[in-house]
Structure 1
Amino acid sequence: MRMTDETAVLLVNLGTPDAATPGAVRRYLAQFLMDPRVVQLPRWLWAPLLRGVILPLRSRRVARKYASIWMPGGSPLAVHTRNLAAAVQERLPHMRVMHAMRYGNPSIPDAFAALRSERIGRVVVLPLYPQYSTTTTASVDDIVRRARNMPTHSVADYHLDPAWVRAIADSIRAHWSEHGRGERLVFSFHGLPQRVVDNGDPYAVQCAASVAAIVENLGLASHDYVHTYQSRFGKERWLEPATMPTLEALARQGVKRVDVVCPGFAVDCLETLEEIAELNADAFRHAGGHALRYIPCLNDAPAHADALAALAERALRQ
């Protein structure tokens, strides 16, 4: 099949279960947690533990968490990613914009098969991870290398992209304008095992750089904000400080109102809507705080779509 000169942009997010049911969650978690980029244990050791212990114990509990945030169109991550792709498409009428998931549906191989059937000549892959990590961005690259059948260019990160930084800062300003400003602004990023960073993963450095850029845009002083990491899993040491203990400590110190923003997530998902806005908010109040106000992700906001469209066009020129 002869390919055309047309270009496609493939936005790739982490993924989500197809339904808020134990079976769907189990299938999703099995794919996610069997990725050697995510869990770096020998397969002979990890696979029996995952299938025999972790999945039976976690699937039903995690399904209930998803059910608490499920939207009419599916999981928030799926709905917002789909809407974001549509918004980017409006800004790139000369390109074909699609979205895919690293785990779950629509899959990266299926997306490339569809693009090939449309005779697309080249693809810009844009993982929706502002900060690069071997556990996320590199995992997408692994699948893209196996699935691609046309010239492909991948965007490694955009943690200091001026348009993205400005969009995050403006979303914080808008939140403050509507709800008032809390006593602290907490930046919460998904965590990683400290071992991964010690082995050279640049994620923590890029998270810190993103925070510094957003803080500079906002004109904040060092005592106005805190940078933390959430979503710890397992018993080994993870990046610190951890979000929930930090929030509890702030409450015990007399801080009554905090705002929490999650700039490592392109769209809202389980980790922001359930873990931060529900679980961590409850922990903050139980420790003596009055209110945790969660600042939503950029989702399909015009400024977000503008920034991603510009990133894709720059990648194409490269």
Structure 2
Amino acid sequence: MARLDVNRSGEMEIFVRAVELGSFTAVGLDYQMTPSAVSKLIARLESRLGTRLLNRSTRALQLTPEGTLFYERSLQVLAQLEDAERCVSTSAEPKGRIRVNANVPFGEHFLLPLVPQFLLHYPQVTLDLVLQDQVIDLLGERTEVAVRAGPLKDSRLVARKLGETRMMIVGAPSYLARQGMPRKPADLETHNRLGFNYSRASPGWPLQDKSGPVSFMPNGNARVSDGQALRRLAVGGLGLVRLAKFQVKDDIAAGRLVPVLERYNPGDAEEVHAVYIGHGGNLPSRVRVFLDFLAANVRFP
């Protein structure tokens, strides 16, 4: 039988916060404890469990395999405790920090415009937003929610589909005036096809010609780290790019960009998901309401 003087939920909460913040000092500030007291609490937890959960260094905390498993299960347990309290409390309201990672185009077109409305509804929640196009490890980056486009590979994560975004190839009128408008997929061979400087699950540009599916790899004289930068290079007339319709529709309407080879577009689209660690209803209420808010308010053209 468990000893009554062991506050298991308290230990879990401190441990989870240490993983999220990556620092005993930061946890101490949150809970009005000294870094030494936090370190001793984690050490007692590891001693009771008989395994090391965190590898410490002077700069960072790193989860061990056992620590990763305990972290994921702790999230579930704490979410269930929060849910139990909410069921019997008339004043319970989602609160706490949510670290969110999203690609730059989604962040600028959807996430940032929605933030004021979300925080107006949930004033006790704090959003910690990171916009970057590279795929991150949620545990390693201490992130609760990430928005990802394209195929999903990480089996540890749970995904909630936000929609599909149609992909298209576009170029600026100034570039097309210099290089000519491609009339068939093979014409892309002679064009400056701009792309990203990191690996992608589907790096090619898929098209459909008379002989069947064809794909072209980016081959341009510039590569960038995010979709908004790629759009700006295209608007500047450097070359052709393949981006989501939501990202370029305003440029097309204003004449800054022109669709290319649309008759050969096979209905190319990427699914967009919000991914997170957790299972079923085992989510903190702050994360659950954030996911619900995204699903209700994100609409792709």
| TM-score, length of structure 2 as denominator length | 0.31
Higher helix share: 1
Structure with more strand by fraction = 2
Instruction: Give me the TM-score of the superposition, normalised by structure 1.
Output: 0.30
Structure of larger gyration radius: 2
